[in-house]
């Protein structure tokens, strides 16, 4: 019995080799792996000695040889194959342990030249792995160092004979091997793909499982969280999260935390977002240097604090002690009880603030997530039954609003309107948002008609809507939405524009004395 070892990730390979040696399995290895095994005091044959051919072309050709691939691929028990390996003196190779160059890590660590990037494209490794996986009824393909101990146990149970390992284990290893290569090739293809070709004819997405979830959307469903592995977009947002405290995350927790953090990070100024079921219940935006704790208290007192209870809090600033104290101790407005939250997510925490937050509840999930470049264009993938929908992200911009009414908005109203317009991007359609003093005071989401969302905003904002602005995520098809917003007390209304009845909405705005603004861009979110 013989094993060939050619690994970039050398974690545990010496102990694995020792276990194979103790089972009487001959060890063959490529240069760097052979040195690691030799340093562990084990005898190992270099691949070049097995093949009689030296490594060449700067290491590009090591294992690409008939004595390697013939030894892996021949079908045991098939007379023709057995005769050929005997005729050409090809030794049997029964275990292949290989993993690949760190292509993603190399590309994302800096800005390598094309030549440097090409040298990180592994050729021999994927070929070894695919050959072993193809012939897994007789050969064990091993790509994950975390599997070494289990494989040694399986081999011991089979008296050191790889063919005696159960078919179920061999199939699982083969599937993992092909997935390992597919993940790698996906990253290479993404790197080589032109920037102007975001939707190739064939698309694969590379991802690594971070954890299995306590449950999915409902307790009877299973779920897992995968980090998107990309050479173009480094791990950011929830893709690079670290959990400091609290219960394990669920499927819904990830959705809500992502929604809250995306909203907070869509602004450069300090921002606080409190999300419930992916929609903002409370939101406040400040100026550079604003106290995040004060923003939090404004968001809570002027927003939908009732819905905020049990929600997710996100900010785009480091959590300091003042904010941590507010999160832990501020009472629910009008209720006299401390606010309860499922998750807090931020780009970082001061050490004392983190320890203080941990005392709020043993269950509170406290997450750090890298800001990255939240307004960077990236692909979004969503599944439908039997297929995938792919789009580039809805990137906010500093759009110049076009005023189409007689009344002109003030600078303060325009500042509120910019906040309301971006908030709408994060509200389920049909969306309407009322904002005053850059604080969300009313939100209507997910209604079949836009005027229904406006009515929800008016009901939620009440008297606070006097002097507020309103924004909606698409065009206003009838003047009734303008009329509801004006009746609530809003002085400015923004929509995409482009309805065949735009003139009627303009006339209604002029009659009611409010400003009507068009953006030319739609922000649907389904």
What per-residue confidence (pLDDT) applies to 300? 93
Strands 341-346 and 279-285: unpaired
Three-state DSSP class for residue 293: helix
What per-residue confidence (pLDDT) applies to 396? 65
Other C-beta atoms lying within 10 Å of the C-beta of residue 277: 15
What b-and-e string marks burial along 445-466, b requiring 16 or more CB atoms within 10 Å of the CB? bbbeebbebbbbbbebbeebbe
Could you give the C-alpha distances from 484 to 52, 459, 499, in angstroms and in order?
84, 11, 18
Can you spell out the DSSP letters for 40-79?
Answer: TT---EEHHHHHT---BGGGTBSS-SHHHHHHHHS-TT-H
Q: Is the pLDDT of residue 107 over 70?
A: yes
Could you give the C-alpha distances from 453 to 114, 389, 437, 503, in angstroms and in order?
51, 27, 21, 22
- Residues whose CB is less than 8 angstroms from the CB of residue 294 and which lie 6 or more positions away in sequence, other chains included: 286
Domains and CATH numbers, the chain: 2-192 (3.40.50.1380), 244-368 (3.40.140.20), 402-518 (3.40.140.20)
Catalytic residues: 134, 277
Question: Minimal CA–CA distance to 363: which of 345, 347, 340?
Answer: 340
Q: Which residue has the higher pLDDT, 296 or 107?
A: 296
What per-residue confidence (pLDDT) applies to 256? 95
Strands 311-315 and 271-276: antiparallel
Over the chain, what is the mean pLDDT?
91
Residue that is written with structure tokens 């995040």 in the block: 292
Question: What φ, ψ does residue 59 adopt, rounded to 5°?
Answer: 90, 0
Q: Which residue has the higher pLDDT, 106 or 184?
A: 184
- Region 456-473: mean pLDDT is 96
What the block records as the tokens of 71 is 């030894």
Q: Is the pLDDT of residue 320 over 90?
A: yes
What per-residue confidence (pLDDT) applies to 236? 84
Question: Minimal CA–CA distance to 271: which of 288, 250, 246, 252?
Answer: 288
Dump strand ranges (E) for 247-306.
271-276, 279-285
- Region 336-348: mean pLDDT is 88
What the block records as the tokens of 311 is 């929600």
Spatial contact of 482 and 404, defined as CB atoms under 8 Å apart: no
Other C-beta atoms lying within 10 Å of the C-beta of residue 312: 28
Q: Which residue has the higher pLDDT, 374 or 433?
A: 433
Q: What is the pLDDT of residues 419-457, one digit of tens each?
A: 999 999 999 999 999 999 999 999 999 999 999 999 999
Q: Is the pLDDT of residue 180 over 90?
A: yes
Q: What is the pLDDT of residues 34-63, one digit of tens each?
A: 999 999 999 999 888 888 887 778 778 888
Strands 140-142 and 207-212: unpaired
Distance CA 396, CA 521 (A): 10
Could you give the C-alpha distances from 374 to 179, 264, 525, in angstroms and in order?
29, 10, 17
Q: What is the pLDDT of residues 256-297, one digit of tens each?
A: 999 999 999 999 999 999 999 999 999 999 999 899 999 999
Q: What share of the chain is helix, strand, coil (3-state, %, to 5)?
A: 40, 20, 40
The DSSP symbol for 159 reads T
Spatial contact of 409 and 400, defined as CB atoms under 8 Å apart: no
Could you give the C-alpha distances from 228 to 125, 146, 233, 324, 346, in angstroms and in order?
23, 21, 9, 30, 20
Cα angle value 370/373/376 (rounded, 5°) = 140
Distance CA 337, CA 331 (A): 5
> If pLDDT is split at 50, 70 and 90, which confidence band does 357 have?
very high
> If pLDDT is split at 50, 70 and 90, which confidence band does 336 have?
low
What per-residue confidence (pLDDT) applies to 109? 82
Residue that is written with structure tokens 């910019």 in the block: 418
Could you give the C-alpha distances from 130 to 139, 172, 378, in angstroms and in order?
11, 14, 31
H helices of 120-165, in order, are 124-134, 148-157
Distance CA 357, CA 256 (A): 20
């Amino acid at each position: 019995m013989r094993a060939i070892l050619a690994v970039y990730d050398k974690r545990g390979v010496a102990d694995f080799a020792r276990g194979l040696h103790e089972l009487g399995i001959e060890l063959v290895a490529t240069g760097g792996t052979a040195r690691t095994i030799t340093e562990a005091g084990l005898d190992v044959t270099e691949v070049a000695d097995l093949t009689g051919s030296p490594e060449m072309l700067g290491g590009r050709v090591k294992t690409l040889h008939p004595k390697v691939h013939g030894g892996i691929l021949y079908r045991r028990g098939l007379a023709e194959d057995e005769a050929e390996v005997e005729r050409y003196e090809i030794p049997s190779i029964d275990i292949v342990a290989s993993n690949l160059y760190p292509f993603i890590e190399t590309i994302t660590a800096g800005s390598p030249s094309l030549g440097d990037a090409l040298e990180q494209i592994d050729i021999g490794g994927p070929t070894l792995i695919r050959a072993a996986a193809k012939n897994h009824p007789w050969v064990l393909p091993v790509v994950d160092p975390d599997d070494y101990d289990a494989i040694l146990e399986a081999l011991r149970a089979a008296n050191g004979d790889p063919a005696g390992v159960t078919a179920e284990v061999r199939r699982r290893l083969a599937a993992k091997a092909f997935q390992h290569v597919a993940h790698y090739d996906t990253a290479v293809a993404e790197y080589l793909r032109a920037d102007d070709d975001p939707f190739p004819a064939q698309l694969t997405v590379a991802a690594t499982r971070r954890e299995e979830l306590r449950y999915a959307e409902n307790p009877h469903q299973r779920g897992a969280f995968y980090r998107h592995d990309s050479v173009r977009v480094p791990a950011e947002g929830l893709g690079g999260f670290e959990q400091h405290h609290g219960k394990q995350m669920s499927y819904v927790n990830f959705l809500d935390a992502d929604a809250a953090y995306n909203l907070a990070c869509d602004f450069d100024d300090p921002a606080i977002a409190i999300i419930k079921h992916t929609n903002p219940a409370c939101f406040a935006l400040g100026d550079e240097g604003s106290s995040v704790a004060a923003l939090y208290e404004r968001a809570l007192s002027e927003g939908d604090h009732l819905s905020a209870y049990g929600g997710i809090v996100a900010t785009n600033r480091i959590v300091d002690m003042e904010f941590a104290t507010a999160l832990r101790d501020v009472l629910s407005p009008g209720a006299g009880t401390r606010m309860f939250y499922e998750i807090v997510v931020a780009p970082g925490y001061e050490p004392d603030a983190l320890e203080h937050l941990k005392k709020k509840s043993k269950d509170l999930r406290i997450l750090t997530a890298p800001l990255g470049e939240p307004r960077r264009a990236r692909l979004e993938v969503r599944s439908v039954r039997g297929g995938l929908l792919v789009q580039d992200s809805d990137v906010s911009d500093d759009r110049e609003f076009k005023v189409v009414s007689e009344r002109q908005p003030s600078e303060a109203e325009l500042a509120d309107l910019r906040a309301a317009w971006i908030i709408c991007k994060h509200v389920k359609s049909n969306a309407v948002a009322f904002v005053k003093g850059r604080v969300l005071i009313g939100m209507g989401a997910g209604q079949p008609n836009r005027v229904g969302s406006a009515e929800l905003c008016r009901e939620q904002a009440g008297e606070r809507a006097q002097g507020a602005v309103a924004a909606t995520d698409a065009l206003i098809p009838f003047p009734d939405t303008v009329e509801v917003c004006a009746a609530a007390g809003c002085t400015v209304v923004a929509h995409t524009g482009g309805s065949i009845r735009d003139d009627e909405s303009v006339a209604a705005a002029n009659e009611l004395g409010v400003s009507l603004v068009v953006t030319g861009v739609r922000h649907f979110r389904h």
